Amino acid sequence: MNLTNNIDEMFNDPSEWHSFHDCIYEVNNQSLSCERLRSVFDSLPNNIQSIAYAWGLSDSVFRDEASVFLRKENKK
């Protein structure tokens, strides 16, 4: 399976992207659509994205790493 199919599968599974949504909501207090969440995902560094590819968007390590990265970005 290539990465495009993998990311499509992740974002087609509501339980996966809802977990990512909650992570983003905790960081910036905004509710984003699935399409916007995918844009946020695309902006994450490859090493953080690779955790999601391996374990899913609901993985606690992925959500923690994404949260730390996005909080740092918000402070810039």
pLDDT tens for each residue of 37-72: 999 999 999 999 999 999 999 999 999 999 999 999
Number of domains, the chain: 1
- Cα separations (Å) of 71 from 7, 26, 53, 54? 23, 10, 22, 23
Which pTM was predicted? Answer: 0.86
Q: Which domain holds residue 71?
A: 3-75
